[in-house]
Structure 1
Amino acid sequence: MNPLKKLAGETAIYGVSSILGRLLNWLLVPLYTNIFVESEYGIVTNLMAYVAMALVILTYGLETGFFRYANDGDCKSTVFSTTFLSVTSTSLLFLLGIFLFLDPISSFLNVGDHSIYIILLSLTLAFDAITSLPFAKLRQENRPLRYAFIKLSNIGINLGLNLFFLVLCPKLNSWFPEWGVTRIWNPEIGIGYIFIAMFAASLFNLILLLPDLVKVKWQFDMTLLRKVLKYASPILVVSIAAQINLNVDKMLMPKLISDASEALAQTGIYGANFKLAVIMTLFIQAFRFAFEPFFFSQSKDESSKQLYADILKYFVIFGLLIFLGVMFYLDMVKILIGPKFHDGLDIVPIVLLANLFLGIFFSLSLWYKLTDKTRYGAYIALGGAAITLVLNIILVPKIGYYGAATAILICSVLMTITSYILGQKYYPIPYNLKRIATYFGLGMLLYFFSSFLQFENHWLKMLAKTPLIILFLMVVFQKEKLWSLPGRKKDK
């Protein structure tokens, strides 16, 4: 099969589980933003930022380390069991630490008497970390359908429990108080039901993966683990820094804005509007799941570098289409968050571009993974994290969530440029920068022009912008000679 078609096919399947699943989960955003006030949703946004950071630490780069050594004949049979047992052990130690220091952790995270939030999220994190290697094994074995089934089951349970506790139970209690719904539902729990649903879904993930774990020949090789950790430790730094770039704003905002209630409200508004960029995030996530094992498997092919160059070009094209689609139809997209959160819509294009550049950075990052120079990835990511941190400290107290959005965009652009320069030095790939810049410039020009198409009727305004997307596609089809689909061609 054509490698590009194979990557596109696997990206589509992973995308079904990721994009479709997350889109179902996305439906929870209007639910949350209509049920809860800004400050309550701010608590959820703040805690989920810490969850994202903690999950990266708990898996400590072993997924990429697993991909690196899974095809190594000397350790192929033991690499999974060794890495899985390592992650499982550290996850259990993490849970022990949480229970020992529950009160100070709850106080630091401003959850007051609701330490149950921390317990539920900690158990969810442990289950997610433990299942990360089995999921990586499914990807390495090219089993995207089973991967997609389990992920979609997880999302279905999460979505179903949210709807049950936050929508159905309140209505049943109101319509039929004699049924005694309060025996299984307590309105005082509020946002706690969000965390209960996450916990149940993660536990179900683990249960579904047990048949795969039973088949494993269990061995533990400390020498191999040291080798994997040596390779993966810079990846961990990269991942932590990436999470700092994505989440430090949500973590710091409640502490950088002096008025406590205003701080949580701004965090909630920022988090809700950040969710409107989810289509870009999901596209990048689906691409990442398919691309990482793909570029390792293709690295020995003579035409691999040209293939990588083509992939980046098409990635940018799809990313720009997503950017234009969200921005041209923002009047329709914005219904996914409650009206009281619409004050933050101006940050959506900034966040979309920031995510696009982070996706480009990931696509470029193959050079340091293939050359085992992962420390350079760590240096770049640490530099980006420092920039994000400093810019947030400077800008958020002055301009609130606009400062947070600006910080992540500046950081992602600088990281992308740095990675490209170093990559061309250590693992040169013939990226067609002229073609990519042409598409990017055209996309930004069309977006700028669309701002002048203002009509009072929202549907008319969106209709007027549709030809601009068609124009973008026509230019791409003409430049890439896709009209007759003759196969992959080298850029001229």
Structure 2
Amino acid sequence: MHNTVKTLGKETIIYSISNIIIRGCGYLALLLQTNILPPSAYSIVIEFYGSYIALGHVLYDLAMDMTYFRFVHRLGKQHTFNIIVTILLVSSLIFSILLILYTPQIAKLTNHLAHMRYFYYMAGILMLDTLLMIPYANLRVEKKTLWFLLVKAVQACAGIIFSFILLYCPVALRCIAYGMYHYLHLPVHLNGIDAVFIATILSNITALAFLLPNFKGFHLVWNKRTMQTIGGYAATSFCTMLFVRLNETLPLLLFRKLVPNNFYSAHTKEEILANFGTACKLTVCITLGIQAFKHAAEPFFFAHLGRKEALKLYRQTMHLFILTSCFCLLLFSVNIDWVAKILIPNPRYRHTIDAVPYLAFAHIILGVYYNLSAAFKLSNHPRYNTWISALGSLVIGCTALLLIPKLGHWGCVYASISGAATMGLLGYYTGQKCYPIPYHKGSFLLLLGCFLALHPIVLWRNTLTFLGAGWSYALLHTIILVTFYRIAIRWKKV
């Protein structure tokens, strides 16, 4: 038992390190890109990666990574690998052909007729990501966590290297354009946006080269009965993932269509979209911790199922999650100005920084919902997770339609918070019926108090300017530390 827990902890740390490395490399690539591309151009990258490619991943993946974990021990590793990779090869090939054939119609629908070739890049990126998914899952099954971390790091570093070469060495783009004309007879003038997409494709190809040994013994398998069983299991997870991804992408997806052209006096809506998309990435300071928690939480929930102290442990887990998250969020909000200057040095991309703490708060609510949704898994009612995610998407969509035309990017923020809050409330009341856990109401009051404190924190910092920047920051940090210390001591006694 001790060795199992130790192994689980080791793997969780390694996967967390992997996430940190990938996000860190992603930020370096972001700095390279935003240093060259103006906000009006980078808004296209934000829209494609933040909306179309993000949704495309769900469609291409078909929740087959989770399905692989479910069937690999039942059907055998090689047979499961062969049959799932066969499904993904056929489905991704069909999706890519349809995407290429209908690109003109899709470009017209999304107002990107001038950027049609970016959809062709998208088809290649999604196809390669799909080919990488099951080999990565196989490394996790085989407990090759260090090799998993190494290949992920190589892929992320390759993205930085190729981004630098293509963005800062124009001759490299000209060589690619010449090759496309000479071999494919496609006359095209490549720019910085092309460089971002091409760098992603090349980094994926690099990772695929490292993962080729995982395809040893692979051959196409077509077993209708087994495929029906696998498909039936994957359908629920696919629907849940689709709605979860819609929750993340809907505001960005609707922003450019709903905001009036002259809404912002000093900037175009495309420039604000680039700013807002960049600001969304700053929430990584909060989301990395939430992701690390998710890696450890699910096995913990199931490991203690049926034990006498299970309900108490689940309640304490929620307390600890909310206390830690709220503490980190308030400290993050106090320091957001200088954090943004370090992570986004280009001032042209810092016009929507004030929205970042609220976006981080929405992620914390989703983390609370993840805790609450454990009741559905523990009671074998996973369909509730799908329905609640669907309702969350509906609330986000309706709120976005109402608020984005009036409030601009703040409409996106409030839509995200409203959808997350809806999921949290429904998760609590539905979970109490499926698997009652006596959560302490004080923790939810702390969550509400943290939200109400976000706006005054900015006002207090401005109000305390007579103390000087250093003393005002010290006072706010002291207040937060003392407040949460007292809350933690009181909860420990209870």
What is the distance in 2 between the residues matched to 1:233 and 1:86? 14
Name which of 440, 444, 469 aligns with 1:437.
Answer: 444
User: Does structure 1 residue 471 correspond to structure 2 residue 482?
Assistant: yes
1:89 is matched with which residue? 90
Alpha-carbon RMSD across the aligned residues, in angstroms, is 3.2
Quote the offset at 1:444 in angstroms. 5.2
2:410 is matched with which residue? 402
1:423 is matched with which residue? 431
- Alignment of structure 1 residues 243-254 onto 2, 5 Å: 243-254=245-256
Taking structure 1 as reference, are residues 63 and 367 closer, same or farther at Cα in structure 2, changes over 3 Å only? farther
Quote the offset at 1:412 in angstroms. 0.3
What is the distance in 2 between the residues matched to 1:100 and 1:391? 34
What is the distance in 1 between the residues matched to 2:309 and 2:141? 22
1:230 is matched with which residue? 232
Quote the offset at 1:252 in angstroms. 1.1
- Identity between Structure 1 and Structure 2 (%): 25
1:364 is matched with which residue? 372
Query: Match of 1:90, SS?
Result: helix
Taking structure 1 as reference, are residues 76 and 163 closer, same or farther at Cα in structure 2, changes over 3 Å only? closer
Q: Is the 8 A contact 1:453 1:461 kept in 2?
A: yes
Quote the offset at 1:184 in angstroms. 4.1
Quote the offset at 1:237 in angstroms. 1.5
Taking structure 1 as reference, are residues 290 and 193 closer, same or farther at Cα in structure 2, changes over 3 Å only? farther
Quote the offset at 1:270 in angstroms. 1.7
Greater shift in the superposed pair: 249-258 or 222-231 = 222-231
Name which of 255, 258, 266 aligns with 1:256.
Answer: 258
Query: Match of 2:351, SS?
Result: helix
Q: Is the 8 A contact 2:32 2:163 kept in 1?
A: no
What is the distance in 2 between the residues matched to 1:7 and 1:352? 28
Unaligned runs of 5+ in 2: 178-188
Unaligned runs of 5+ in 1: 171-179, 482-490
1:160 is matched with which residue? 161
1:210 is matched with which residue? 212
Q: Is the 8 A contact 1:235 1:377 kept in 2?
A: no
2:387 is matched with which residue? 379
User: Does structure 1 residue 315 correspond to structure 2 residue 321?
Assistant: yes
1:139 is matched with which residue? 140
Greater shift in the superposed pair: 388-397 or 108-117 = 108-117
Quote the offset at 1:160 in angstroms. 1.7
2:180 is matched with which residue? none
Taking structure 1 as reference, are residues 148 and 74 closer, same or farther at Cα in structure 2, changes over 3 Å only? closer
> Once the two structures are superposed, what CA deviation does each residue of 1:125-168 show, in whole Å capped at 9, x if it has no partner?
1111222223233334444322222211111111122223324x
Quick one: higher RCO (CA 8 Å, sep 6+), 1 or 2? 1
Q: Is the 8 A contact 1:42 1:264 kept in 2?
A: yes
What is the distance in 1 between the residues matched to 2:362 and 2:167? 33
2:15 is matched with which residue? 14
What is the distance in 2 between the residues matched to 1:60 and 1:240? 9
Quote the offset at 1:331 in angstroms. 1.5
What is the distance in 2 between the residues matched to 1:376 and 1:205? 37
What is the distance in 2 between the residues matched to 1:208 and 1:301? 43
Quote the offset at 1:441 in angstroms. 5.8
Q: Is the 8 A contact 2:333 2:457 kept in 1?
A: no
Query: Match of 2:318, SS?
Result: helix
Taking structure 1 as reference, are residues 166 and 299 closer, same or farther at Cα in structure 2, changes over 3 Å only? farther
User: Does structure 1 residue 116 correspond to structure 2 residue 127?
Assistant: no
1:23 is matched with which residue? 24
Query: Match of 1:428, SS?
Result: coil
Q: Is the 8 A contact 2:47 2:252 kept in 1?
A: yes
Taking structure 1 as reference, are residues 206 and 297 closer, same or farther at Cα in structure 2, changes over 3 Å only? farther
Q: TM-score normalized by structure 1?
A: 0.84
Return the letter of the residue paired with 2:137. A
What is the distance in 1 between the residues matched to 2:62 and 2:354? 35
> Once the two structures are superposed, what CA deviation does each residue of 1:36-80 show, in whole Å capped at 9, x if it has no partner?
232212111111111101101111222233333444x46676434
Return the letter of the residue paired with 2:14. I
User: Does structure 1 residue 125 correspond to structure 2 residue 126?
Assistant: yes
Taking structure 1 as reference, are residues 154 and 181 closer, same or farther at Cα in structure 2, changes over 3 Å only? closer
Q: Is the 8 A contact 2:100 2:123 kept in 1?
A: no
> Once the two structures are superposed, what CA deviation does each residue of 1:364-397 show, in whole Å capped at 9, x if it has no partner?
3233334443322121111111111111111001
Greater shift in the superposed pair: 336-345 or 87-96 = 336-345
Taking structure 1 as reference, are residues 143 and 466 closer, same or farther at Cα in structure 2, changes over 3 Å only? farther
1:174 is matched with which residue? none
What is the distance in 2 between the residues matched to 1:441 and 1:6? 37
Q: How many residues align?
A: 471
Q: TM-score normalized by structure 2?
A: 0.84
Greater shift in the superposed pair: 445-454 or 419-428 = 445-454
Q: Is the 8 A contact 1:61 1:239 kept in 2?
A: yes
Return the letter of the residue paired with 1:313. H
What is the distance in 2 between the residues matched to 1:385 and 1:408? 9
Taking structure 1 as reference, are residues 472 and 133 closer, same or farther at Cα in structure 2, changes over 3 Å only? farther
Q: Is the 8 A contact 2:29 2:159 kept in 1?
A: no
Quote the offset at 1:297 in angstroms. 6.2
Query: Match of 1:373, SS?
Result: coil
> Once the two structures are superposed, what CA deviation does each residue of 1:283-303 show, in whole Å capped at 9, x if it has no partner?
333433454566556657676
Quote the offset at 1:304 in angstroms. 5.3
Q: Is the 8 A contact 2:283 2:356 kept in 1?
A: yes
Greater shift in the superposed pair: 443-452 or 77-86 = 443-452
- Alignment of structure 1 residues 39-188 onto 2, 5 Å: 39-48=40-49, 49-71=51-73, 73=74, 78-167=79-168, 169=169, 183-184=174-175
1:175 is matched with which residue? none
Quote the offset at 1:310 in angstroms. 4.0
> Once the two structures are superposed, what CA deviation does each residue of 1:169-220 show, in whole Å capped at 9, x if it has no partner?
26xxxxxxxxx67754889511211111111112222222221232669765
Taking structure 1 as reference, are residues 202 and 479 closer, same or farther at Cα in structure 2, changes over 3 Å only? farther
What is the distance in 1 between the residues matched to 2:139 and 2:309? 27
Taking structure 1 as reference, are residues 146 and 472 closer, same or farther at Cα in structure 2, changes over 3 Å only? farther
2:359 is matched with which residue? 351
Quote the offset at 1:472 in angstroms. 5.5
Q: Is the 8 A contact 1:10 1:290 kept in 2?
A: no
Taking structure 1 as reference, are residues 414 and 285 closer, same or farther at Cα in structure 2, changes over 3 Å only? same
> Once the two structures are superposed, what CA deviation does each residue of 1:417-438 show, in whole Å capped at 9, x if it has no partner?
21122122223344x3345336
> Once the two structures are superposed, what CA deviation does each residue of 1:245-270 show, in whole Å capped at 9, x if it has no partner?
11111111111123288332232222
Return the letter of the residue paired with 2:485. M
Return the letter of the residue paired with 1:440. L
Return the letter of the residue paired with 2:477. T
Taking structure 1 as reference, are residues 274 and 436 closer, same or farther at Cα in structure 2, changes over 3 Å only? same
Q: Is the 8 A contact 1:61 1:232 kept in 2?
A: yes
